[in-house]
Amino acid sequence: MPHCIVEHASVLSGAELNRLVFLGALDSGLFEPDGSDIKVRSMAYEQYSVGGESKAFVHVSLKILSGRDALEKKILSQCVLSRLGEMSLVDVHASVDVIDMDRDSYLKCWFNPTDK
């Protein structure tokens, strides 16, 4: 059920980043085998800098329900970062972070306008 939020320089393809992040999360083996619970979205930035220079970047925040151990989180980060490497990025700063969401307060539902 991860929420994968991809922030990136506008010179990078959001669609490709989303695809690779999805595959990386799927590779981790921590979620549904068909990926049906993996949510990915991205935001492109027009203005950015890395180290004070206008260099491209991608940062992925992986929000998951609390309860995973440190090794599972590390594997998830490594799987996503490994998939990002498939883009053959050159001079691009890439980072991944796993963030726990409180399991007790997280709620979700599926709104379907056809159900009355």
Structural domain contains residue 111: no
Average pLDDT (92-110) is 94
Checking if the pLDDT of 116 tops 80, the result is no
Mean of pLDDT over the chain: 95
pTM here? Answer: 0.92
Structural domain contains residue 110: no
Give me the pLDDT at residue 3, please: 98
Q: Give the total number of structural domains in the chain.
A: 1
CATH at 50: 3.30.429.10
Handedness of CA 18, 20, 23, 27 (dihedral sign): negative
Give me the pLDDT at residue 115, please: 59
Query: What is the distance, to the nearest Å, from the Cα of residue 11 to the centroid of all Cα atoms in its chain?
Result: 18
Structural domain contains residue 7: yes
Structural domain contains residue 109: no
Using a 10 angstrom Cβ sphere, with 0-12 exposed, 13-18 middle and 19 or more buried, the burial of residue 33 is exposed
Q: Which residues pair with 58 in a beta bridge?
A: 8, 94
Give me the pLDDT at residue 98, please: 98
- The string of pLDDT tens digits covering residues 38-59 is 999 999 999 999 999 999 999 9
- The string of pLDDT tens digits covering residues 1-34 is 899 999 999 999 999 999 999 999 999 999 999 9
Q: Look at residues 60, 51, 52, 53 and name the one whose alpha carbon lies nearest to residue 12.
A: 60
What is the domain extent for residue 10? 3-101
The Cα 39–Cα 5 span in angstroms is 8
Each residue of 61-93: b (16+ CB within 10 Å) or e? ebbbeeebeeeebebbbebbbebbeebeeeebe
Structural domain contains residue 51: yes
Structural domain contains residue 26: yes
Structural domain contains residue 108: no
